[in-house]
Structure 1
Amino acid sequence: MRARRARRAFLARHTETVYGVLTDGLTRPVRLADLVYEAADRFPGLVPTRAQMAAERRFVQAEKEGREIDQGIFCGAVLRSPTAARHLVETMLRPTPRARTLLDGFRTEGRIELDTVYLERRGVAGHIEFRNAARLNAEDDRLIADLETAVDLVLLDDVIKVGVLRGGTVDHPKYRGRRVFSAGVNLTDLRDGRISFVEFLLGRELGYVNKMLRGLLTAPSPGDGRERSVGKPWIGAVDTFAIGGGMQLLLVLDHVIAEENAYLSLPAAEEGIVPGLGNLRLTRLTGARLARQVVLGGRRIAATEPEAR
């Protein structure tokens, strides 16, 4: 606790200086995960090192030392700084290096298969299909990375005019052979300590979710005479259910189509976690009363209910 108080006190005074050192005076874009680990190298003791986090991941969540709390102290300080936060958010809106590497091949072939996501161009639509079949298309660190790559490719491809999200068929005995949109966060991985704070929880919101909402940043700096970002409309096709993170995704899309028997829910409070920015975005769409029922009361919204609109 004493060390954490010291970190908070240090960052209260020196966050912008630290961020400036890590980004060469705001001239170098450094993605969030790299920023955290570079801070560990350049400022020993400020945040955990890669080796410390790798050791931490060997434990189930309940038995961890809590090193991600120290990452949270650092990330919170950066995101409270107007200068550092703006630079970091814009950095996270840029295409990932992986997407840039795959772009030419996708433009030629019109399709790409990643570990947990399949992307195909059909006419002017880019269809992204979740393929974490053994886990009801639940989100984990691997799916987060694959999905950001796919979203980048949809936004970078000049032929594609609209993006489509849909869940693929799953292997779960109860739903085998059926399409499922998303079961939200992979609770097994969460229990086992394999859901990361920086790469998953923060990387998800600052990465592909924000890119679908605000567009992909493509120009290097303001005032250079070019359009700085590219945005496209997004459609969600919901089969069976969109739970947790799956429902959160729907809140940043432009249009949602759901099958008659589908339902939506945000059970994060029951699981002891915060539903990303879903609690803020849902309230804007529905008003406070219905949002409380969904977020705090665990209410499921059936696709056929009037509230589903």
Structure 2
Amino acid sequence: MSTDPILLDVENAIATITINRAETLNALDVPTIRAMHIVLDKVETDPDVRVLVFTGAGRAFIAGGDIADLNSRQGLAHYQEFAEEIHNLFRRIETFDKPTIGAVNGFALGGGTELLLALDIRILSDKAKLGLPEITLGLFPGAGGTQRIIRQLPLCRAKEIMYTGDMLTPEEAVSVGLANRVVPHDTLMDSVRDTAAKIAHKSPLVLKLLKRTLSDGGDMPLSAALRHEQAMIGLVLDSADAHEGCGAFLEKREATFKGR
């Protein structure tokens, strides 16, 4: 078994990124964050990778930050190192030009739920547990969670999750809009790969432009976002993939997208 904190496997256009610190329930620390950047550098420039899947080794997705490490820090040092690094990582993942999927195999607490909030699609094992329990430690979510969750969930539900620190069952997480669906634990990776494969067959160029349109537009007033969408669909219509897709529909054949 590799001791690398982040493992990468690429197969059939799908990159599976595994947080590999099972002995700490995949708690995040600075070396793990930096190792994740190295892996992202590889898949970002690999034209054969079209979808990224994130999962965890053992019985956790990510059980949060490394509490012993956090307890050793003071505010300024934390702000300048760990907080800066994890914010940069999660923002990079959130705005990554390739679609991302979370395969939540177990505990996704604290930083685990905060990472999920930065992923495009979230599929949960029926053994998963989600939550932001930082308040029980005299803390609150500090890896972007406070801001992403209030933009994705009704404000009253987001506040309840953060104020109480209670864990959510997979079904509760789906019901509030924190995840897409729950699947049996033994079929989690098959279900995730099926979804990833379906996306990987679409145009990587159009997916990139779509994701940028969604990400940028979410930060704009509606009037500006609509103008942004209008400009971006114009770019899409300059692509060979758009005309390949339309041509395939008219000719009643399967489209072959090449990312051009």
Name the TM tier (shorter chain): 0.5 to 0.7
Q: Say whether 1:213 aligns with 2:80.
A: no
2:81 matches 1:203? no
1:235 aligns with 2:117: no
Gaps of 5+ in 1: 1-112, 170-178, 216-230
Whether 2:139 is the aligned partner of 1:273: answer: yes
User: In the alignment, is the contact (CA less than 8 A) between 1:114 and 1:146 conserved in 2?
Assistant: no
Using the TM superposition, give the Cα deviation of residue 272 of structure 1 relative to its aligned residue in structure 2, in angstroms: 2.6
Instruction: Give the deviation of 1:268 after TM superposition.
Output: 1.7
Is this contact kept in 2: 1:141–1:196, CA < 8 A?
no
Instruction: State the distance in 1 between where 2:167 and 2:154 align.
Output: 16
1:90-130 deviations in whole A, cap 9, x for unaligned?
Answer: xxxxxxxxxxxxxxxxxxxxxxx773111111110111001
Q: Which structure's CA Rg is the greater one? A: 1
Aligned-partner Cα distance in 1 for 2:56–2:108 = 9
Match of 1:130 in 2: 19
Of 156, 161, 166, the residue aligned with 1:299 is: 166
Q: Supply the RMSD in Å over aligned alpha carbons.
A: 1.9
| Structure 2 unpaired stretches of 5+ | 180-260
> Normalized against structure 2, the TM-score is what?
0.62
Q: Is the 8 A contact 1:247 1:265 kept in 2?
A: yes
| Other-structure match for 1:289 | 156
Q: Which residue of 1 aligns with 2:210?
A: none
Counterpart of 2:66 (choices 161, 176, 186) is 186
- Output the amino acid matched with 1:234: T
Deviation at 1:156, TM superposition (A): 1.7
Conserved 8 A contact 2:30-2:85: no
What TM-score does the superposition give when structure 1 sets the normalisation length? 0.52
Contact 2:62 2:108 in 1 (8 A): yes
> Match for residue 216 of structure 2?
none
Which amino acid is the alignment partner of residue 257 of structure 1?
I
The match for 1:249 among 98, 115, 118 is 115
Amino acid aligned to 1:120: D
CA distance in 2, matches of 1:284, 1:160: 29
CA distance in 2, matches of 1:255, 1:301: 18
2:149 corresponds to 1:149 = no
Shift of 1:152: 2.2
Q: What displacement does 1:278 show?
A: 0.7
Is the alpha carbon distance of 1:274 and 1:156 closer, same or farther for their aligned partners in structure 2, counting shifts above 3 Å? farther
The alignment-based identity, stated in percent, is 31
Structure with greater contact order relative to length (CA < 8 Å, sep ≥ 6): 2
